[in-house]
Chains A and B, each alone.
Chain A
Amino acid sequence: MTIKIKVENLNFYYGSFQALQNINIDIHENRITALIGPSGCGKSTFIKTIDRMYDLIEDTKADGTIAFEGINILDESTDVVELRKRIGMVFQKPNPFPKSISENVLYAVKRHGDQDKKDFPSIIENSLRKASLWDEVKHKLNQSAFSLSGGQQQRLCIARTLATKPDIILMDEPTSALDPIATSKIEELLQELKKEYTVIIVTHSMQQAARISDYTAFFLNGELIEFGETKEMFTAPRDKRTEDYITGRYG
C-alpha cells in the first residue's frame, strides 16, 4: 500500500494557543481517511495544514513534517498555489462562485492555463460526470450555480475541484449542511472518487465515518488519540477515550 502523505510531529498554533500536538499519521493512496472527534478537537485544523489554507489566517504557525512527493508541505519554499491545485478542498458549506455552472467548473482551469481551450467542453462534461452531476445539469450549463439545490451545489464544488486534476481531495464536513438524500448521494460519489483520488474527510458523524472510510483518525483536544483501519477502530478501539466517543459519551 502506497503512502501518499506522511505526517510527522506536526504541531499547529493559533497565536499562543496550540491547536495540534505532535500529530503522526500516514495517509494511504486511493483510500478514504475519515477524521472524527468532538468540535474543537483539531480535525478541521489538521486538514487546513495539508493544503496550507491556514496561511490565510493571521498569526498561525505550523511545525513538523507533512511529506508529499518529496517535499515538506510546511516548508516556506513550498509553492502553495501549485500545492492547492494538487490537493483540492471541499468546504463545509457549498461555496460556488456567482457564475454559471460551466464557468464554475472552468474557473480554476482557465486561471491555471495548463489545459487546452478546445478541451474545455470535455473538461466540463468529465468533471461533472465524475461528480455525478452531469445528468442533472447538462441542459442548463449556462445557468447560475445559485439555481442549484444545496446538494447539487456541493457536487458542483467537487466537480470544479476535480477539473484541476488533483491527487488528493480534502473535505471539511462536506455534508453537514445537506439533507439526508443529498448526503447519501455524496457518500456514494466518494466511493467512486477513491478509485482515482486519495480522500481525507472531516466528519461530525461517526456513522458516516463508519459507512464510507477505510481509515479513521480520532482527534481529541488537539491530539491524535487513535488511528487505524475503520473496521478495527469501530469494533475494537484500543483507547478508552475512543471507545467513549464512538459509544456516544462525548458531545
Chain B
Amino acid sequence: MTRYQKKLRMRHFYNQAFKVLLFLVIVVSLLVLVTLLFDIFRKGYQTLTWNFLTSMPSGRAARAGILPSLVGSLVLIALTALISIPLGVGTAIYLELYANRRSRFFKLLQLNIANLAGVPSIVYGILGLAIFSQMLKLGPSLIVGSITLSLLILPVIIVSSSEAIKAVPSSIIDGSYALGVTRWKTITGVILPMALPGILTGSILALSRAMGEAAPLIMVGAVGFVTFLPDNLLSRYSALPLIVFNWTSRPQEAFAQIAASGIMVMMIILLITNLTAIIIRNKTQSRID
C-alpha cells in the first residue's frame, strides 16, 4: 500500500468519524427538545384540568387556577397586535416604498431598527417603566404592558414586513403605476395583498414571541398572582409567563407541578399560532411556485 493510499484511508476514516459526530450533535439538540417537552408533560398533565383553566389563582396549589393569566395574555396580545402591526407594517411600507434610500433619515432608520432588534427585552421593560408607567402615570396597567411588548417586537415586524414587500415583483408594481394609479392606491391595490401572507407570518411569529415574554412585564410592574379579570385598559393584569414564574419561584413541589400545567397551556397556544404561521407560509410558497 502506498503512502497515498494509507493516507486516503485515514481521510475516509476521519470523514466518517466527523459525520457521526455531527449526527450526534443534531441528535443531542433534538433530544433536548423531546426531553423538555416530555418532562413538562409528565409533570403537568395531571393538574391540567378544566377547573385549572377556569379558576382564580390561590395560595393552595390544589385549588389554584390560571384564568386571569390566560385571559390577561390573550387580551395583552390582542392589544399588542393592534398597536404593533399597523406601526410595523406602516414603517416597512415607508422604508420600502417612500423613503429615499440615500437620505440620512433612511440610513438612520435602518441602523436604528437593526440595533433595536438586539436590545435585550428587559431593557424595553425599563423604557416602559420610566416613560409610560411613571412619566405618563399609567401605572402597571394593561396598556403599558401592551405598548412595551409592541415596541419590543416592532423591529421583528418591520423586518419581516419589509422582506414581504420586497418580494413583490417590481414588474407588477410598475404595471400598476403605468396605468396611472397613485402610489398609495398601488400599495393597497397590489403590493399589500401580495405581501400579506409574509406580513402575517412574520407578525404572528413576533406576537408569539411577545406572548412568552416575562421580563419586560415584570419591569413595568405586572405580577403573576391576580384574582380578577382585566376590564379596561388601565386594569392591572396577569399573563401566562408571569404566573408560571410566580409558581416556579415557590419551593413547594405542588406549585412546580401546576407551573408545568401553566407552561402546557402557554405552549399549546404557541404551537397553534406557530402552526398557523407555518401553514400560511407554506400555502403561499406553493402558490408562487
Question: Are A and B direct contacts in the complex by CB distance below 8 Å?
Answer: yes
In the complex, what residue of chain A is closest to B188 when comparing beta carbons?
A: A111
Q: State the CA gap A86–B279 with chains docked (Å).
A: 43
Contact B181 A107 (CB under 8 A): yes
Cβ–Cβ < 8 Å partners of B118 in chain A: none
Q: Smallest distance from the beta carbon of A167 to chain B beta carbons, Å? A: 12
Cβ–Cβ < 8 Å partners of B177 in chain A: 53, 56, 84
Q: State the CA gap A88–B100 with chains docked (Å).
A: 26
**Chain B contact patch, size range:** 20 to 34
Contact A88 to B193, CB < 8 A, known contacts A95-B172, A95-B174: no
Query: For chain B, what secondary structure do more than half of its interface residues adopt (helix, strand, loop), or is it mixed?
Result: helix
Is A155 on the interface with B (CB-CB < 8 A)? no
In the complex, what residue of chain B is closest to A161 when comparing beta carbons?
A: B179
Cβ–Cβ < 8 Å partners of A81 in chain B: 180-182
Contact A89 B178 (CB under 8 A): yes
Give B18-47 as 1s and 0s: 1 = Cβ < 8 Å from A's Cβ atoms.
000000000000000000000000000000
Give B51-73 as 1s and 0s: 1 = Cβ < 8 Å from A's Cβ atoms.
00000000000000000000000
Contact B180 A86 (CB under 8 A): yes
**Chain A contact patch, size range:** 20 to 34
From B102, B171, B189, give the contact of A91 (CB < 8 A): B171
Cβ–Cβ < 8 Å partners of A161 in chain B: 178-179
Is A108 on the interface with B (CB-CB < 8 A)? yes
Is A135 on the interface with B (CB-CB < 8 A)? no
Q: State the CA gap A84–B186 with chains docked (Å).
A: 13
Which residues of A are at the interface with B, using a C-beta cutoff of 8 A? 51, 53, 56, 58, 80-86, 88-89, 91, 93, 95-99, 107-108, 111-112, 157, 160-161, 164
Q: A81-B182, A111-B189, A160-B179 are in contact. List 17 more A-B contacts (CB 8 A).
A: A51-B178, A56-B174, A81-B181, A84-B177, A84-B180, A85-B180, A91-B171, A93-B171, A97-B175, A97-B190, A98-B190, A98-B194, A99-B193, A111-B182, A112-B180, A112-B181, A164-B180
